[in-house]
Amino acid sequence: MRFYLIDDSPSIINILRIIIHERELGQVCGSAEHAADALEDLPVLRPDIVVVDLLMPEMDGITFVQKARSVVPEAAYIMLSQVTSKDMVADAYKSGVEFFLHKPVNSIEVESVIRRVCQSLSMRRTLSQVHTLMQQMPQPRPHPAAAPAAGTPQSPASDAASGVRQRAENLLRNIGVLGTTGSWDIIALVCYLAEHPEAKSLSVSALCGRVGNAKTVEQRIRRAAFTGLVNLANLGLEDYNNEIFTEYASTLYRFEQVRREMNCISGRGTAHGKVQLNQFLSAMVSYSTGEYY
């Protein structure tokens, strides 16, 4: 990781530089004592992580981050300050700050926070790359168990079932879980529920028993659904206005659970988000049958 350091105190910059070097966290590609100078450097140096002081003359750290994100939106921002005001901290997070580092600088805290940010940044980049590759991939073949026999004439009912299956596959592709074992179980359940709407009143366990071993199927779909939640949380951290994030974070899941997973990934919390399978499957059916369109 490449770091850019901004603080009106040269000694703070030197301390951070030493910690980053000695703890082998990455390399410092540049530094500045004034925010205006940093804004000129960022487009050229393209750092991965920017550490900036909150209280600086001429331009405070929050204003700087707001401007810097339009220049290098892919970078992660860490705020350095002695301020403990909840309102100011909230404003900093809204501006795009990932974490706070407290003054006086503590080497253990610096290393811990930077490693968390590095991990979060790497995960977001990997997810973005995977999502891009998946969008470029050809449409996958239907699951063998669901594919019609060769030469079988397609009735209007089978056309409708094919459309449900295709929309379910597209949705799972969007949240990055298509191709997992659990994804085929989800598609099978969605198709079953689309054909038997009266089954919506059944428990998740009972539904899973309609397509296979209830316990095994439920475990697989829960893992796949949770992977989708994690993927959405990472998308939200990367771009809160991402259309996939805004579309599915509050329909397939409860938004507060996605937010909890975002906080866990970014180190602001320790509890992972939880999946409500009833809501997840119900929303999957609604999307796949066209009710949400």
List of domains in the chain: 2-130 (3.40.50.2300), 157-288 (no CATH)
Q: Which pLDDT belongs to residue 85?
A: 67
Looking from the CA of 55 toward its CB, the CA atoms found within 13 Å total: 9
Give the tokens for residue 128: 């973005």
Polymer length in residues for the chain: 293
Cα 114 to Cα 99: distance, rounded to the nearest angstrom: 9
Cα 139 to Cα 137: distance, rounded to the nearest angstrom: 7
86 φ, ψ (degrees, to nearest 5): -60, -40
Which residue numbers in the chain have pLDDT < 50? 139, 142, 144-148, 150, 293
Give the tokens for residue 187: 């598609």
Q: Which pLDDT belongs to residue 146?
A: 46
* Prediction pTM value: 0.51
Cα 63 to Cα 54: distance, rounded to the nearest angstrom: 9
Q: Which pLDDT belongs to residue 293?
A: 44
Q: Which pLDDT belongs to residue 98?
A: 75
Q: Which pLDDT belongs to residue 181?
A: 77
Q: Which residues contact 235 (CB under 8 A, 6 or more apart)?
A: 124, 127, 128, 131, 242, 244, 245
Cα 252 to Cα 116: distance, rounded to the nearest angstrom: 27
Give the tokens for residue 44: 């050229």
- Choose among 90, 21, 20: nearest CA to 51: 20
174 φ, ψ (degrees, to nearest 5): -60, -35
